[in-house]
Structure 1
């Protein structure tokens, strides 16, 4: 019995030695898409951090961070990662007071040490309003940490982050294993993968070896590396600032003409061009007037759907014999509005619309008019619109519809807006049969970014912050360049209270499918209402389906489609059935998954778990840049 027990202990000891030896030689498994999949409990990859299996328990390591406000200087980036500013400035060949251009690759030296079973660079972060583990890991730290690692190493639950509290951020780094040091590897660089990157291009950029990079991440040449994930790059010597200089885009084709040609001849051409442009503009103005007054009289069909915008439709409100006190006070203050907003005489609008003739009617209570040679959309509204006018009067943003003037006549308001050529977004994403109305991937991301930027302006740069409260594809208008403008501010209102939230005392109004659960159930209004609606809008943009397609019984939002596209092993194959077929597969799959995850984060039932519009703008800006690369 003794001999058997002795032999068993020896076997265990030998097995332990073999396991330890194997571990010391092991590399680090690539994290893949788990960086943005916060709900995934699978830790078989490196989602919790790189395993502490190196030759040393502490070493010098390097990170690549893309500068983005407010972390765009040596000081701010050093503070974020707990790094030495002098080391950051030295390795990037800049002064300690330097500020980097947006999206510039910055090398961040860190001390990487074992913390329990995982390597990490020790840093911390103070929770700000609307922060959550997803936004901290993926937006603030740019996937150089993960939400799972944050949850694992902090006592705060993801649903109960306290503003002002300090959390540990396990930054992803690692030390070389023995088999790496044996071949001359001295450092490991944590690199944030960008769209279009390959293992070879990344390795070459930093003077590394492709085979060693594949081995370091336990992947093969056939493995897909995903945008916005980290890859370990083995290096024999520290990275340098010269390696972070990205190739500039090719210059536009230049003329080969001799610059010393006769100046008088150049001026002649200028005069010719100016004359042609002026004549063209004059012909366009005359043509527009003739079209509005004559041609449309013989056309009994509805106006072209490209210029029909539901966002201009007036909401039906009870007629009042007299203006209420608020409207009367607003009417009394028209002189102050006239300083920045044109106050039209009713006769001017009658002349512009041929006396509000049916030939100039667009839809609802909206008419097309010609005012001083410019096309305008004129909307008749019954009821009090003082809040909407006051809000639009002080807004000047390219992604928000511009109100150019007002008129009050016989108990009705007339609002004069800029005319947006291509009409509502809904006309472009629901009608896939019209080949002239197909938006490509980059256009869709640009439109989403435009809407997010406009909402961020409303939420962060108006005083007080405002909620649009009716974001949907009919209230997003596209101009001739397919750039988006937010319209229809009839339901917009300022936020109130400490959290920018208050209880509605009136009936719930909005667009079915876009209204957040806390608004439907409890009448609570905050800027997170717009975030939820924006999440639905992003899914419409991606899928080409109306919001109603995402809802099931009892009007509950369906997550099945998102689960299929994001979490299953055949996610990329399932994605093909999820994305709008009109794009015919011409979209980057990794970026599509990231956009869907971003939309999913906007649709969290708890509004505190949704990102802010500022965070969404940052994410979409990076996605658009990667899409255009």
Structure 2
């Protein structure tokens, strides 16, 4: 009954396609390959459902619960399926299991599975058979387990228009991360239909919003709904007058809603215009338009007018901000952010040119810009991520300290938000510690390293102790410590998902995993509890990097070959056997050789012991940042006294190795 052509002929026609797919699934790079069959991790599958694939259908397809499904916003139409991922011993690949129910009209299982799962599924030889109606076929879905650098891997099938750059911007990760995970040597060589992995530190998407009405009855397969004769007869008997009446009522409600919207919009804009007129009458030293809220409603309007104009010009009735030639110094001391236009941001970054690209942060790429004659750093974030940050953005406007990178303002567009920050001329501490010559940086003297550590500690102490609401940074690392023209340190990247409220009594709060691997405190790894002591642990790792010049995670030679170890574990192992001096060769071997022994041995040992206290496994035993600042102040003073005893030698050294 099912056979409209000979099965053998159809199998021959599909065999080349099957061979191509079979070759592709075995040509993927790591992390699909695996050897440890006992390992289990949490992974995500990026799946773009068809219009008929409802929530119930997706649950059935992937054998998951509603809580395992999140949705990507901004019109991408993707869902993210959370699955347990393990190593299949037979094929040495990371897979997750599910079942597929054959649809009623028959066909090859291969065709059905590929159409339904869009390249996410492993196809064994058994799926080339002719299917029977109602048959249940076990399937394995490709997933991935991270080697430890990231919390999750998302399985993603490349579509037309996708590139490594677009995926990095879309998911808020660096291109290097995607290339490293997938073993990509040429970012322009991604193939449509191939499976790649996106490394993430936080759960992708947002919870699936259930409607109030009853959801469709779950169906056993993702096939198009087959209507029975009874269904058709029931629909045919719906009264024609009832249908027309319902349409009429709906149109009336829409018209009334539109009238109310226009009325409220006009009223709000009139009030805003009057307020602007009052401001114009006063003598204000700088006339940067500042909005009391980030956006006017969910449509991303300011004064109920779209910020982004398609023709690049403001309409005649739009209230615009006067633009001074420079950002006045007092801008940095005000409680409300400056509102910039998209055109200003685009122009200041030379159209987001690669030459202006500074790097990538947790939720977007960062560009250098010359905005109103002021050097700034501009973070480019997709609009789907902004909901997580809005409450923290208001906090950023009220947090001001010499050792925190200042938040200046923002510019919204229809699908992105641009955050404008103070620019740090010397870049990140990481770039000066890790292979600085190849990055075009001069090395840091010991006295400068101590000053940087003290500056960063003071910035952390401020958000822990001296703000009205206590905060936890949760992503302290050398990449997030920036240096200005005088090599003074400023903590950055703390205003998005990582600022976490903490009670005055020292209470804790559970947050998403957004920290950088190698800096994570043990208690955070085990139960996702983040406190100010989590920041202290990460700062201890930073101190070890300042001393050694090594990265937080380094590759060492183990008994079974190369292995990755944390710098903290290596330094702790060394310090356990160290007496009260730096004479022991084992610890001297871990001091940055680029300083050429031009440092105070006693001060280095004191900083190493302070770092050891900071990375104590028990958070209660760690000092708070107030104590850390006090200890570093003493080390800083002792380092100055040591430098003064060197007479002219220090001056020669400071000329060779940048210090102040």
> TM-score normalised by the shorter chain: which range applies?
0.3 to 0.5
Question: Greater strand percent: which structure?
Answer: 2
TM-score (norm 2): 0.43
TM-score by length of 1: 0.45
